[in-house]
Amino acid sequence: MCGEALTRPMDAFGDAVRDRMAGSGEPLTIERDDGHMDTDDLTSYFAGFEAFPECERRALNLAKGRVLDLGMGPGRVSLHVQDMGLEAVGVDISDGMLDVARRRGVENAVRMSVCDLDFPKGHFGTAVAFGNNFGLCGSPGGVMSMLLRLREVLADDGVFLAESIDPLCTTLPAHRAYHERNRSAGLMPGQVRLRFVYKGRADDWFDLLLVTPTEMRLLAERTGWRVSETFQYPCDGPLYACALTKA
């Protein structure tokens, strides 16, 4: 999850990343609307390629052409793509993220929502959505709209490298209860409402869609994609990445 959500007046995530870049600050809190809290020291957002999850490292072997980095955050994927000798274009709506990414050396950092991509037809050979960014548009309909737009901005032989956490791969009672609450409301189990809290300040709530590998495949098939390869790490663990190609 790399800084993308609804446009909001505050930028808690971006502020936390700026402070982390400066070597100061404190962990970012991610609050779910049922009161569940997680914290993140943001180390993974500044990781070099050798510290990427194995599923991401394997998936990035498929990158080719001009690469669109969706929800770029501080730019870890874009920086590696540049190291590969490819052109990277990172998009994010967080001004803090864009500032840090540019200072870290991302050459093309654009303020744009992944839910409203504005690029020419066939402009990219690859799109990457790591860190749960497959679900940034928040709902099945929003994600399918993004997938349809990606069909336009990727070349005919383009590849979309998408990552999610399987929400059902958990034993925590609080998570399972949340999934049941969603089912009762007619939602997908992994549709979560979150907000970022940093130094006592909270952003607005936003929706994020976490999907199982089967759910990713079904959403892809409904929008003219197919899952050509799946990468999972650790084996049978919750984090996975898929390569999607045009059907």
Query: Is 34 within a domain?
Result: yes
Confidence band for 239, pLDDT divided at 50, 70 and 90: very high
Query: Is 3 within a domain?
Result: no
Q: What is the mean pLDDT of residues 132-150?
A: 98
> In b/e form, how buried is each residue of 62-80, taking b as 16+ CB within 10 angstroms?
bbebbbbbbbbbbbbbbbb
Query: Is 7 within a domain?
Result: no
Q: What is the identity of the amino acid at 129? A: A
Query: Is 222 within a domain?
Result: yes
Query: Is 2 within a domain?
Result: no
How confident is the model at residue 5, as a pLDDT?
42
Structure-model confidence comparison of residues 128 and 8, the more confident one: 128
User: Residue 28 sits in which domain range?
Assistant: 12-246
How confident is the model at residue 4, as a pLDDT?
45
For tokens 């189990």, the residue is 189
Strands 206-209 and 37-40: unpaired
Q: What is the mean pLDDT of residues 205-220?
A: 97
How confident is the model at residue 128, as a pLDDT?
98
CA nearest to 72, candidates 41, 37, 117: 117
Number of domains in the chain: 1
pLDDT tens-place string over residues 65-101:
999 999 999 999 999 999 999 999 999 999 999 999 9
In whole angstroms, what separates CA 112 from the centre of its chain?
A: 14
- The domain that holds 48 is classified in CATH as 3.40.50.150
pLDDT score of 114 more than 60: yes
Q: What is the identity of the amino acid at 64? A: K
Quote the CA–CA distance of 215 and 219 in Å, as a whole number.
Answer: 6
Query: Is 5 within a domain?
Result: no
pLDDT score of 2 more than 70: no
pTM given for the model = 0.94
Q: What is the mean pLDDT of residues 238-245?
A: 97
Q: What is the mean pLDDT of residues 208-229?
A: 98
Residues near 180 by beta carbon (within 8 Å), at least 6 away in sequence: 189
pLDDT score of 206 more than 70: yes
Query: Is 134 within a domain?
Result: yes
Query: Is 4 within a domain?
Result: no
